[in-house]
Amino acid sequence: MKNNRTYKWVRGLLAASAFTSVMFIMQACYGTPNYRNEESFSYEVKMSGIVTDSASAQPLSGINVSTDISEEVAVSDENGQFCLSFMVYSDDDSGYNLNFSDSLDRYAPLDTLIVSDFSDINISLAAK
């Protein structure tokens, strides 16, 4: 056990050295290049807003809100408010496609690209 601890310590030094670091770059023959990053990038995207009826401007409940990049689905409440959050692991500011669909099929579905103002999304849906 102690032997292994010593080896692990020496190994850490070797892995950090420019000359011997290649020893530790491992890749299975049918796998992908290995990558380790202790400080990997991640942040939580929060998208929220209100869904209303385009004719009456009344808030709509029961509208499913989803994106094309995550399986997460939010449902608007009695005030038409929704809040959708999901984790992303890449620095990409080109926005997200939001999909609005009525579970009761009263309103036509809507796809829209949201690039900024993620916390103030106002969407109106037209009745079918």
Give the shortest CB-16-to-other proteins separation in angstroms.
Answer: 15
Give the shortest CB-84-to-other proteins separation in angstroms.
Answer: 14
Q: Which of 71/105 has CB closer to other proteins?
A: 71
Q: Which of 37/116 has CB closer to other proteins?
A: 37
Q: Which of 19/119 has CB closer to other proteins?
A: 19
Q: Which of 54/70 has CB closer to other proteins?
A: 70
Give the shortest CB-116-to-other proteins separation in angstroms.
Answer: 17
* Interacting residues of 93 by C-beta distance below 8 A, sequence separation 6+: 115
46-80 burial code (b ≥16 CB/10 A, e <16): ebebbbbbeeeeebbbebbbbbeeeeeebebbeeb
For other proteins, the binding residues (CB under 8 A) are: 4, 7-8, 11, 22-23, 25-38, 40-42, 68-71, 86-92, 94
Give the shortest CB-71-to-other proteins separation in angstroms.
Answer: 5
